[in-house]
Chains A and B, each alone.
Chain A
């Protein structure tokens, strides 16, 4: 509760007309951003414990509780995420907040272009690696090693539910090889 209350109080501050419209001073805007990031980070422990309980509950015959970290990457909007860039294998859990099942194309920042994605039923999904746009990868203060975004289709994410995907760097080079731009039109 202390975490959730902190986020509730922070969201209370965000109802101020300056926070809603962006008419606050620069330093106040930075303070709002900092409060939000601290509050969301505090609540990631809540999410982690809930998802761990759910994953234990769903996997009845598991002896030891599977302690996944369920880390959030807040820089996905600039194609940056340490876990997916620095690890050869990782799990990605997608929680669908809507009341209906959705299909969503997911983009994961990765260092290379040959990865395998396995869905919860063990099916290997079609994937595609697309280079991170040059303007993004050239951004000075984006310290990320991701050169590609790994795209796959997460289908039928259950309403108010989640699915976990296993992503692993594969030793084999995909048949289509390294993603390259179509030939320039003259």
Chain B
């Protein structure tokens, strides 16, 4: 087959001939799941009236919800070994990612690397990683509250008042501290983050998380400067991880996907502390 498959007995990921993730097989089922990077173009209000403020440190506001694809073809390199299988993806000059599945894992790890975000066109950019699936989530998704309780979210809706959404994208973004998820009667997709990010589900079956942003205008909420972080005079480069879980949504007495997600969340957010020591002994002496 011209498709690339990585994985183990618990989860397999299939990449299509353009290098994009196309399918995930896990928990006894195969779902169409794709992942790509896109970026919103940032709004630059004139900050005079309250309404048309720029996208900035306090505000996320895409310009007319303009969203651009990072690329339409990904170059990939595949490494397979006895402990881990990896697909190294290059989306463009400033977005790349490693998708890996360890031998005994039940989830996939997406280690993204974004930046320096180019601004030669004088347009601020807000980069998202978007996972699309065929799960019929019916406008409902879940985001965590500080790593604990999962809060139910419904697109273009608020629980406690009749909301009028002026910003169809930003008005549906919520804080994600560790997890965002959606499900239907058969399948569930959850993504764990390694840091707080903005996230949403703007279409059924779709989850998106904002991984990096570079803005050129202050949003007049007090900081008095644009969110344009630089390192050595260039835009900041950010690197992080998303963990993708896919499985059956029905609650089973023996094991629930949510319980597995919870355990991995703890172990990825509180990994072991690593200490290195020079050693002059041989291994026998060391033992």
Task: Kindly identify, within residues 87 to 130 of chain B, every residue whose CB is under 8 Å from any CB belonging to chain A.
Answer: 88, 90, 96, 98, 102-105, 113
Chain B min CB distance to A172 (Å): 14
Most chain A CB neighbours (cut-off 10 Å) among B17, B80, B266, B273 = B273
- Decide if A69 touches B278 in the complex (CB within 8 Å): yes
What 0/1 readout, one digit per residue, does chain B (154-172) give for beta carbons within 8 Å of chain A?
0000000000000000000
- Say yes or no for A47: interface residue by CB 8 A criterion: yes
A92-B274 in contact (CB<8A): yes
Known: A97-B272, A105-B84. A71 touches B277 (CB 8 A): yes
Q: Is A65 an interface residue (CB 8 A)?
A: no
Closest Cβ–Cβ distance, residue A184 to chain B (whole Å): 8
| B279 x A103 contact (CB < 8 A) | no
Chain A count of residues within 8 A CB distance of the other chain: 68
Q: Please report the C-alpha to C-alpha distance between residue A134 and residue B82 in the assembled complex, in whole angstroms.
A: 22
Determine if B274 and A91 form an interchain contact, defined as CB atoms under 8 angstroms apart: no
Q: Does B229 contact A (CB under 8 A)?
A: yes
Across the interface, do B2 and A90 meet the contact criterion of CB distance under 8 Å?
Answer: no
Residues of chain B within 8 A of A68, CB atoms compared:
275, 277
Please, how many angstroms separate the alpha-carbon atoms of A96 and B230 in the complex? 34
Smallest CB-CB separation from A97: which chain B residue?
Answer: B270
What are the 8 A-B residue pairs with the smallest beta carbon separation, nearest first? A135-B96, A128-B81, A70-B275, A83-B276, A94-B272, A68-B277, A182-B78, A181-B77
Question: Given A90-B278, A97-B273, A128-B82: A166 and B267 within 8 A (CB)?
Answer: no
B79 near A84 with CB under 8 A, answer no
If A97-B272, A134-B88 touch, whether A181 touches B78 (CB-CB below 8 Å) is: yes
The answer to whether A131 touches B79, judged by C-beta atoms less than 8 angstroms apart, is yes
In the complex, which residues of chain A have a beta carbon less than 8 angstroms from the beta carbon of B77? 181
How distant is B108 from chain A, measured CB to nearest CB, in Å? 13
A73 in contact with B267 (CB, 8 Å): no
> Hey, what's the 0/1 contact readout for A128-159 against B, CB within 8 Å counting as 1?
11110111100111000000000111100100
Task: For the A-B complex with A95-B275, A166-B286 known, give 15 more contacts whose Cβ atoms are closer than 8 Å.
Answer: A22-B57, A47-B275, A69-B278, A70-B275, A87-B279, A90-B277, A94-B272, A95-B273, A106-B274, A122-B283, A134-B96, A135-B96, A153-B83, A181-B88, A182-B79
B276 and A91 contacting across the interface, CB-CB below 8 Å: yes
Report B-chain residues with C-beta under 8 Å of the C-beta of A105.
83-84, 102, 105
B271 adjacent to chain A (CB < 8 Å): yes
Q: How far is the CB of B205 from the nearest CB of chain A, in Å?
A: 27
Partner of B272, one of A152, A154, A181, A182: A154
Q: Are B223 and A25 in contact (CB under 8 A)?
A: yes
Partner of A69, one of B96, B98, B277: B277
B262 to chain A, nearest CB (A): 12
Q: Is B73 an interface residue (CB 8 A)?
A: no
The complex places the Cα of A54 from the Cα of B80 at a distance, in Å, of 38
Contact between B275 and A93, CB atoms less than 8 A apart:
yes
Residues A25 and B272 in contact, CB atoms below 8 Å apart: no
